[in-house]
Amino acid sequence: MPKRVSFLFGSGISIPAGMPSVTDITERVLSGKNVQHGTDGRFRLVATQPQLPWPGVPDEYVPRVKAFIERLYVETKKYYYSRPYYSSPPRRAVNYEDLYYVASQIYDGETGEYDNPIVQGFVDQILPDVEPFFARKERLLEIARDATYYIFDIVWDSLKSTKTINYLNCIEDACRDKEISPVDLFTLNHDTLLEQYLESQNIKFTAGFEARLNGYRYWSPQVFRDPSDRIRLFKLHGSVNWFRYEPNVATGSNDPVGIADDGKYWQEKDPNGRLQFRDHDRPVLLVGTFNKIFEYTSRIFADLFYEFRHSLQETDLLIVSGYGFGDQGINMQVAEWADSSDKAKMIVIDPGDPRMGARGNIRLRWDGWLANKKLVVIPKWIEHTSWKDIQSAIQRV
C-alpha cells in the first residue's frame, strides 16, 4: 500500500448529488432564462422569469449581454469545429468556461491588462455585429466585462446550494485508513459538497483557514504545516463561500480571504470585531480556461498551486475522479509528476474513456502510462466505487 495518497476531483463527483453539470450551466448562460440583473450590478438566477424592473422600462442588461455571448459562441464553435483533433465525433462542445475565457481576453485587451495582438483581429471581425448591443456610450470594454460578470454570477448561483450526499464512501474509508498518511484532497469544484461530506462523517480536516474568530475564519496557508492534520483539503479553483476583504492590520494579511460560518459574508468582522469591507462583492472563484494559468500565479491561488505542486512531489498514488483533464495548468503538474519517478502511480475512476476530453499533454502519454503500469482505470462512477476497489486496482500498478 502506498504511504502517500492524494485525490484529484472534478465536477463529475458532484453530479450525483444533483449539482448541475458543465452542460447544464452552459445552457443557463446561453438561454438567459430566469436571469435578472440587480441594481447592485449582480446577475441572479431567480425562481421565475423576472418581470421588467419598472413598468414600461425594459431590462437592458440581460438581453444585451446574452446577445453578445451568443456572438462569441458562434466564433468559438467555428474554431473548435475546424480543429482536426476536435472535428471527429463526438465533437467538442463549447461550454461556459470557453465563453468566459474569450470574453475575458477581449476585456483584458481593451484595458491593456494583458497584451494579445491576435485579439484585435477577432474584435474587428465581430464588432459590426456587437456594436448594436452597446448601451448609449458603452464601449466594448464594458460589455465584455459584463459578459464575464454574467457568466461568473450564473456559475456562483448554480453551485451555492447545499446538498445531502452519502455516496463518497471510498473517500471516507481512505481518510480512516491508518496505513496511509496524510491524505490530500485536491478539488477543482466551487461547491461545498466535499466539506459537507467530511463534516457529516466527523472527519477532521483542514482547508487552509485559521480557527474561528467572531464567527469567521481567515485564509492562512501556514495551517497546512500542522503535522496533526492528516486530512488536508485544497480548493484549487476557489469556493462559493470564500470572499475577499480589504486588508488591514487586524487581519495581518495582504489578501484576507474569509469564510462566514453563518453564510452572512456581508457582515464579516476582523479579529478586532470591526466590520470588514469587501474588496469585491463576488466570491473568490476561478472561471474560464487558459486564463486560470495566469491566476495560478497570484494571491490565494498561488498559495494553493504551490501546495498542489509540493504535495505531488511527495505523492506515491494519485486517485482522479470526475475530472476530464481539461485544465492545462493542472495537467502540466500531473504529467510532470507522473514522468518524474517510477513510484508515481495513478488510478482514474471513470466508466467511459477519460482520454476523450483530455488535452494533448495527458492524451499523448496515456497509452504509455498504461503499458508501463503507471496508470489503471476503474470503469465505474465514484458513487459505485469502494475503497476495496481502489486497493485492488493498486495491485495492478
Q: What is the mean pLDDT of residues 83-101?
A: 81
Report the percent of the chain where pLDDT is more than 90. Answer: 64
Question: Structural domains in the chain?
Answer: 5-19+163-394 (3.40.50.1220), 22-159 (no CATH)
User: What is the pLDDT of the chain when averaged over all its residues?
Assistant: 88
The three cell numbers locating residue 333: 503538474
The CA-CA-CA angle for residues 208, 307, 385, to 5°, reads: 85
Quick check: bond before 351 cis, omega within 30? no
The rounded distance, in Å, linking the Cα atoms of 94 and 96 is: 7
Identify the pLDDT of residue 57. Answer: 42
Identify the pLDDT of residue 282. Answer: 92
Helix/strand/coil (H/E/C) assignment for every residue in 239-251: CCCCEEECCCCCC
Checking if the pLDDT of 258 tops 80, the result is: yes
pLDDT classification of 180: cutoffs 50, 70, 90 = confident
Q: What is the DSSP letter of 345?
A: E
Identify the pLDDT of residue 54. Answer: 46
Strands (E), 212-339: 216-218, 231-235, 243-244, 257-260, 317-321
Checking if the pLDDT of 251 tops 80, the result is: no
pLDDT classification of 56: cutoffs 50, 70, 90 = very low
